Amino acid sequence: MKTDKDKKFTFWPYAVVIGLASFMGYIIYFVIQAMNQDVDLVSKDYYAQEIAYQDQIDRVRRTQALGDVMLQYNEEAGSILLQVPATYEDKKLNGTITLFRPSNDKLDKQLPLQLGRDKSQLIEVGDLEKGLWKVRVNFSDGEEAYYSEKTIQIK
């Protein structure tokens, strides 16, 4: 017969239970983190924009037919020069310039289109975060709508 003195303490059942509990705790933590992650589409009204996309294609084609908008980023000056081609010279243009940050929609900025006599506008971007930005120019001459989009890297 065996007595209590012959029984040895074994560590393995406790290690297995602690390992499984740790793994389950990690999975629960991961699921909670994933559920609290902010998942944004590119824009808030993504689906409405997708339905009206043919209008967007038409605006881009009209813009390219008359000459596309030129954007030059000057890193030293911290500015973007927006230049409208001479084909728009006789047109009274109004619209908006959107500085769009794909990674964070809270950083987006919208500015009015205010062209000078030479059909250009200087946009100060010194206060923008470094990274990838899309400059969207949406404008109209009262009869037709136009659109241009360029990507810049602010350093």
Q: Residue 20: pLDDT band by 50, 70, 90 thresholds?
A: very high
What does the buried/exposed string (b/e) look like for 106-132 if buried means 16 or more CB atoms within 10 Å of the residue's CB?
eeeeeeebebeeebebebebeebeeee
Is residue 20 a part of any domain in this protein?
no
Domain CATH for 79: 2.60.40.10
Residue 149 lies in a domain: yes
State mean pLDDT over 23-34.
Answer: 96
Average pLDDT over residues 97-112: 89
Q: Does 13 or 50 have the greater pLDDT score?
A: 13
- Does the pLDDT at position 135 exceed 90? yes
Residue 18 placed within a domain: no
> Residue 116: its pLDDT value, please?
87
Q: Label residue 46 by pLDDT band (50, 70, 90).
A: confident
Query: Is 39 contained in some domain?
Result: no
pLDDT over 60 (residue 63): yes
Report the alpha-carbon distance of residue 120 to residue 71 in Å, rounded: 10
Question: Which of the given ranges, 22-31, 55-64, 68-77, 117-126, has the highest pLDDT on average?
Answer: 22-31
pLDDT tens digit sequence for 143-153: 899 999 999 99
Distance from C-alpha of 141 to C-alpha of 125, rounded to nearest angstrom: 26
C-alpha closest to that of 115 among 152, 74, 146: 146
Domain range for 124: 46-154
The pLDDT, as a whole number, for residue 95 is 93
Q: How far apart are CA 40 and CA 45, in angstroms?
A: 11
With 60 as the cut, is the pLDDT of residue 113 above it? Answer: yes
Residue 138 forms part of a structural domain? yes
**How many domains would you assign to the chain?**
1
Is residue 78 situated within a structural domain? Answer: yes
Cα separation, 78 vs 154, in Å, equals 9
**71: pLDDT strictly greater than 70:** yes
Query: Is the separation of the CB atoms in 95 and 140 below 8 Å?
Result: yes
Does residue 15 form part of some domain?
A: no
The answer to the question of residue 36 being in a domain is no
pLDDT at residue 41 in the model: 58
